[in-house]
Chains A and B, each alone.
Chain A
Amino acid sequence: SAVISQKPSRDICQRGTSLTIQCQVDSQVTMMFWYRQQPGQSLTLIATANQGSEATYESGFVIDKFPISRPNLTFSTLTVSNMSPEDSSIYLCSAKGTGGWTEAFFGQGTRLTVV
């Protein structure tokens, strides 16, 4: 298993500003994922963060809005840029180990409110 620490756990931000969310895993993992969970909704994948290469974004999400870094096998950041109230959501980091069907583990999420 893996323990994932996500910071900050919550934040209230002014519109037009940016927030960087950090995700630290206690072991090396091959894949890291960033999900968005809008209020009362399910989880939607934003992007897959690959170590040493560009992140792969899902339809509807772009790098300019959600730049991602993955400097090593245990760490990733997601930045929410030029925020608007529509960006108010929970953002969750997830990681998956190597081989087989190892399940994905999740951080505790970041609750973002944009005012």
Chain B
Amino acid sequence: AQTVTQSQPEMSVQEAETVTLSCTYDTSESDYYLFWYKQPPSRQMILVIRQEAYKQQNATENRFSVNFQKAAKSFSLKISDSQLGDAAMYFCAYRSIGQGGSEKLVFGKGTKLTVNP
């Protein structure tokens, strides 16, 4: 079974600075998807960024980028120019791909990000 580990229960960053959230995972599959979701106090899970494992190029979405290290099974999220609205719980998630793979998401325990003005 796949597992996802987020080793930082809490992180803080100054507004306009850069912060990196860590995520590692364990799987025997060669192809899969990885996601970062954001959950603000409203409880709505919002997709931040996604990465397909066979793609070597790191995904980027505006101020959000990932450092995907497949051999190390690492998938960190970098938030540049942090804004007050970035404050939320961030969850790293894994999903299988391909025939016979489960469509469910396996989540890490989350990292609470605080943005200080």
Contact = CB atoms under 8 A, between A and B. Distances in A.
Interface of A: 31, 33, 41-45, 48, 58, 90, 92, 94, 96, 101, 103-109, 111
Contact of A111 (B43, B45, B50): B43
Contacts of B91: 42-43
Interface of B: 33, 35, 37, 42-47, 50, 52, 91, 95, 97, 103-105, 107-110
Contacts, number: 49
Given A101-B52, A103-B50, A42 B110 contact: yes
Given A44-B107, A106-B44, A109-B44, 16 more contacts: A31-B103, A42-B91, A42-B107, A42-B110, A43-B45, A43-B105, A92-B43, A94-B45, A94-B105, A101-B33, A101-B52, A101-B95, A103-B35, A103-B50, A106-B45, A107-B44
Contacts of B97: 101
